[in-house]
Amino acid sequence: MCERDLVSWNTMISGVCQSGNHLGSLMMFRRMIDELVVYPNRISCLSALASCASIEALIYGREIHGYLLKTGLDVDEFLINGLIEMYMKCADIRSDQRVFKSMLDKESIRANAVIWNVMITGYVSNEYL
């Protein structure tokens, strides 16, 4: 990358994720944080969470969740959905339930049909229903 700004990082992370190289996408996300030139935003985190869900990389997913909590990044329904999907695909039902409950406690975020669908699909695929 010639100029490493937020747009170029997000483009690379998302592109590598969409090409199916999920571990590469996560390594790029980690490199973005390590270089301390720009900080990940919600787009960066969404792409990284999608990679975590695809390869069931729970440890990386927890790190991203921790990053969101630590930095106070504005967590919207898209990030909540990404976290819920990642935890469900990694079969971490307890963490998933905590994220869902924290969402219900916020007035600014409501459980929409997509979030409910991810929850139900996750319970079925993990044989809880």
Cβ contact 25:13 at 8 Å = yes
Q: What is the pLDDT of residue 129?
A: 58
Q: What is the pLDDT of residue 125?
A: 78
Let me know if residue 77 belongs to a domain: yes
d(CA 92, CA 2): 39
Q: CA 28, 79, 42: angle at the middle one, nearest 5? A: 50
- For the chain, how many structural domains are there in total? 1
Let me know if residue 21 belongs to a domain: yes
Q: What is the pLDDT of residue 108?
A: 64
**What parts of the chain have a pLDDT lower than 50?**
1
Q: What is the pLDDT of residue 47?
A: 93
Q: Supply the range of the domain harboring residue 120.
A: 6-125
Let me know if residue 18 belongs to a domain: yes
